Amino acid sequence: MSRSFCVGAEDHRGCGDNGLVKSWVEISGARLVENLRAVQAVAGAGVETLGVVKANGYGHDAVLVARVLVGAGMRWLGVSDVEEGARVRAELGEGPRLLVMCGIELADCKEVVGKGLTPVVWTVEHIAALEQAGEAAGQRVRVHLEIDTGMARQGVDLDGLAAVVERLAGSKWVVCEGVLSHLSSAEDAGSVVTERQRERFAAALEVVVEHGVRPELVHLGNTSGVDEGSTMEWVRETAARMGARAMVRTGFALYGYCLPLDTGAVGALGSRLKPVLEWKTRVIGVREIEAGTTVGYGATFVAKSLMRLALLPVGYADGLRRAGSSGMGDGWVMIAGQRARVVGRVSMNLTTVDVTDIAGVAVGDEVVLLGEGVSAEDHAGWSGTIAYDILCGIREKFRVI
Ligand SMILES: *Cc1c(COP(=O)(O)O)cnc(C)c1O
Which numbered atom of ligand 1 lies nearest the CA of 255?
Answer: 8
Atom of ligand 1 nearest to the CA of 250: 9
Q: How confident is the model at residue 20 (pLDDT cuts 50, 70, 90)?
A: low
Mean model confidence pLDDT for the chain: 93
* 252 and 166 in a common domain: yes
Do 98 and 218 belong to one domain? Answer: yes
Domain check: are 80 and 203 in the same one?
yes
Would 202 be classed as within a structural domain?
yes
pLDDT tens for residues 116-138?
A: 999 999 999 999 999 999 999 99
- Is the pLDDT at 87 greater than 90, yes or no? yes
Whether residue 297 is found in the same domain as residue 148: no
pLDDT computed for residue 265 by the predictor: 85
Q: Is the CB of 251 under 6 A from ligand 1?
A: yes
147 and 191 share one domain: yes
* pLDDT tens, position by position, 149-179: 999 999 999 999 999 999 999 999 999 999 9
Number of domains making up the chain: 2
Domain closes at, from 237, 265, 293: 265
> Atom 3 of ligand 1 has which residue's CA nearest to it?
222
User: Whole-prediction pTM value?
Assistant: 0.93
pLDDT at 264: 84
Q: What residues contact residue 272 under an 8 Å CB cut-off, 6+ apart?
A: 35, 38, 41, 42
Asked whether residue 295 falls in the same domain as residue 215, the answer is no
Task: Write down how long the chain is.
Answer: 401
| Ligand 1 atom showing the smallest separation from residue 58 Cα | 8
pLDDT at 236: 96
Residues 255 and 284 in one domain: no
Residue that finishes a domain, picked among 230, 265, 300: 265
SS (H, E, C) 266-334: CCCCHHHCCCCEEEEEECCEEEEECCCCEECHHHCEECCCCEEEEEECCCHHHCCCHHHCCCCCCCEEE
Q: Is 76 in the pocket of ligand 1 (CB under 6 A)?
A: no
Same domain flag for 58 and 182: yes
What angle do helix axes 230-241 and 192-210 make, rounded to 10 degrees? 10
Is 40's C-beta closer than 6 angstroms to any atom of ligand 1? no
Q: Tell me, yes or no, whether 121 and 199 share the same domain.
A: yes
Write down which residue in 216, 236, 265 finishes a domain. 265
pLDDT of residue 146 exceeding 90: yes
CATH number at residue 149: 3.20.20.10
Domain limits at 93?
Answer: 28-265
Q: Is residue 289 domain-resident?
A: yes
Q: Is any atom of ligand 1 closer than 6 Å to the C-beta of 222?
A: yes
- Are 351 and 253 contained in the same domain? no
pLDDT of residue 396: 79
Q: Which residues are catalytic?
A: 54, 297
pLDDT at 8: 32
Tell me the C-alpha to C-alpha distance, in Å, between residue 170 and each of 1, 87, 270, 397.
52, 32, 43, 49
What sign does the CA torsion over 172, 173, 177, 179 have? negative
Tell me, in angstroms, the distance from the centre of ligand 1 to residue 30's CA: 22
Summarised one tens digit per residue, pLDDT across range 350-392 is: 999 999 999 999 999 999 999 999 999 999 999 999 999 999 9
Burial per residue of 5-30, b for 16 or more beta-carbon CB atoms within 10 angstroms, e otherwise: ebeebeebebbbeeeebbbbbbbbbe
Examine residue 194 and state whether it is found in any structural domain, yes or no: yes
pLDDT over threshold 50, residue 86: yes
Query: Residues near 254 by Cβ (< 8 Å), separated by ≥ 6?
Result: 32, 35, 36, 39, 51, 52, 65, 69, 276
Distance 225 CA to ligand 1 centre (A): 10
Q: Report if residue 282 sits inside a domain.
A: yes
Specify whether 201 is located in the same domain as 331: no
Could you tell me if the CB of 60 is within 6 A of ligand 1? no
